[in-house]
Structure 1
Amino acid sequence: MQPMSLLITTCVLFVGSHLVLSHPLRAPLADRLGERGFQIVYSVVALATFIMLVQAWRGMPAEPPLWAVGDPLWAFATLIVLFASVLFAGSLVGNPALPSPAAALTAQGAPRGVYAVTRHPMMWSFALWALAHVLVVPTAAQIVLSATIAFLALVGSAGQDVKKARLMGDAWRHWAARTSFVPFARQVSGQTPWGDTIPRDRALFGGIALWLVATWGHGALGYMAAGIWRWLG
């Protein structure tokens, strides 16, 4: 199989297994295996398909970039990753979308910080991470990989809306009515003040720390220098 064909195949397996196990097969498998047994199966399949995807991506031959990448584009991508890091850090606390016995109670709170930006800050952080990588690594292989990650994140978010509405009922529907799927949609439409989107301390400082460590590790692990380290190195 040609390297690109292999990459596309593993991407389809990675996304397809996630979507199938998260939705149509989740209930019957959980009934048969128990919730813990299902989580083990889900994790094993996710890890196996992810390893296959990474190996296929690493096996791609060198490709010429599709466009020139200079400092302005690197700076823009760096800011996108910083914003994505803040979204991710903020999504770890007080997130009704995460599995938690207190999810319904959490959903009663006023959306502030990253949740005023979008009700799926974690998933959008993955999609924005993918976008940033395409901007500075404009190759066919990177576009396929990033498109896979962004597709899984955003389609998964839409599926999560449906699942949460079924599991949490009015609690989730009220939360969804006070938040937006698309970042900043409520602010642009005038429904929510921009000041509500100011990140909380844990999101802001946690996101900055994550951004600094992740971009430093990018170069430390032998990949191209990223973030501010690109200019400080």
Structure 2
Amino acid sequence: MQPMSLLIVTCALFVASHLVLSHPFRDGLAGRLGERGFQIVYSVVAIATLIMVVQAWRGMPPEPPLWTVGDGLWSLASLIVLFASILFMGSLIGNPALPAPHAARDAAAAPRGVFAITRHPMMWGFALWAIAHIMVMPTPGQIILSVTIVFLALVGSAGQDAKKARLMGESWRGWAARTSFVPYARQLAGGAPWRDTLPRGHALFGGIVLWLAASWAHGALGYMVAGIWRWVG
């Protein structure tokens, strides 16, 4: 199989396995295996298909970029990754979308910080991270990989809305009514104040640390030098 075909097939398998196990097959498997057993199966499949994608991507031959990437595009992409890092770190605390026993309690709280921006900050963090990679690494292989991540993150979030509404009932529907799927949609529509979107301390400082560490590791591991490390050090 040609490298590009292999990458497309493994990306499709990665997406399909996630969506099938997360939604149509989830209840049946969880009923037979138990919640813990299902999580083990889900994790094994996710890791195995991810390894397949990574190996296929590493096997891609060198490709010329589809457009020229200068400092301006690198600066914009770096800011997008910083924002994505803040969304991700903020999503780790008080997130009703996570499988936590206190999800209903979290959903009853007023949306603040990253949750006032979007009710799926973790998934939007992944999607924005992938979009930034397309901007500065515009090769066909990278675009296919990044589009796969964007698709899985956003389609998976939409599916999560439906699943959470079924599992949590009114508590999730109330949360969904007070939040937006698209970042800043409620603020742009005049339905919520902009001051609510200011990130909390753990999101802001954690996001900055994650951004600095991840962009530093990008160059340290032999990939393209990223973030502010392109201009300092």
Shorter-chain TM-score tier: over 0.9
Using the alignment, how far apart are the partners of 1:215 and 1:169 within structure 2?
40
Aligned to 2:151: 151
Using the alignment, how far apart are the partners of 2:39 and 2:94 within structure 1?
22
Q: Secondary structure at the match of 1:192?
A: coil
Using the alignment, how far apart are the partners of 1:109 and 1:148 within structure 2?
33
Using the alignment, how far apart are the partners of 1:37 and 1:78 within structure 2?
39
Using the alignment, how far apart are the partners of 2:187 and 2:35 within structure 1?
39
1:35-184 map, 5 Å: 35-184=35-184
Unmatched 5+ stretches in structure 1: none
Structure 1 residue 49 displacement after superposition: 0.4
- Using the size of structure 1 for normalisation, the TM-score is 0.99
Structure 1 residue 23 displacement after superposition: 0.7
Aligned to 1:232: 232
C-alpha RMSD of matched pairs (Å)? 0.5
Aligned length: 233
Structure 1 residue 149 displacement after superposition: 0.3
Q: Secondary structure at the match of 1:228?
A: helix
Using the alignment, how far apart are the partners of 1:21 and 1:92 within structure 2?
23
Using the alignment, how far apart are the partners of 2:119 and 2:140 within structure 1?
31
Structure 1 residue 22 displacement after superposition: 0.5
Q: Secondary structure at the match of 2:108?
A: coil
1:116-151 CA-partner distances (Å, limit 9, x unpaired): 000000000000000000000000001100000000
Structure 1 residue 86 displacement after superposition: 0.2
Unmatched 5+ stretches in structure 2: none
- Using the size of structure 2 for normalisation, the TM-score is 0.99
Q: Identity over the aligned pairs, expressed in percent? A: 76
Using the alignment, how far apart are the partners of 1:73 and 1:62 within structure 2?
21
Using the alignment, how far apart are the partners of 2:37 and 2:103 within structure 1?
23
